Amino acid sequence: MNSEEDRVEKDSLSPQKLREELILYLLRNYGDFQTKEIAKILGHEPRTIRKSLKNLEDSGKVESDKLGRGYIWSSSVEEKEGLMYF
């Protein structure tokens, strides 16, 4: 393996990337969640989940709405519209 393949393999298996994929799966398949709910489901601290959610929001994969002192998160409109069934 060359160094580029090693880097790609390490990036795809990083804990942060796996956590973000799990968050996307939850939001796509089960609807909207608050940060603390996602943290409880995945067994992480809310601040860890908040960081992952912010990364996903910056990349346009999730959206947030202010709810009291926290946020409620959902899969982005673009992500939902991308699904097509025949």
Concatenated DSSP letters for 26-79? Answer: HHHHH--EEHHHHHHHHT--HHHHHHHHHHHHHTTSEEEEEETTEEEEEE-HHH
3-state SS class at 84: coil
More confident residue, 53 or 77: 53
CB atoms closer than 10 angstroms to residue 18: 12
User: pLDDT-derived band of residue 76, with 50, 70 and 90 as boundaries?
Assistant: confident
Domains of the chain: 3-81 (1.10.10.10)
Q: What is the structure's pLDDT at 10? A: 57
Average pLDDT over residues 24-30: 95
- Sequence-distant (6+) residues with CB within 8 A of 68 are none
Query: Mean of the per-residue pLDDT values for the chain?
Result: 85
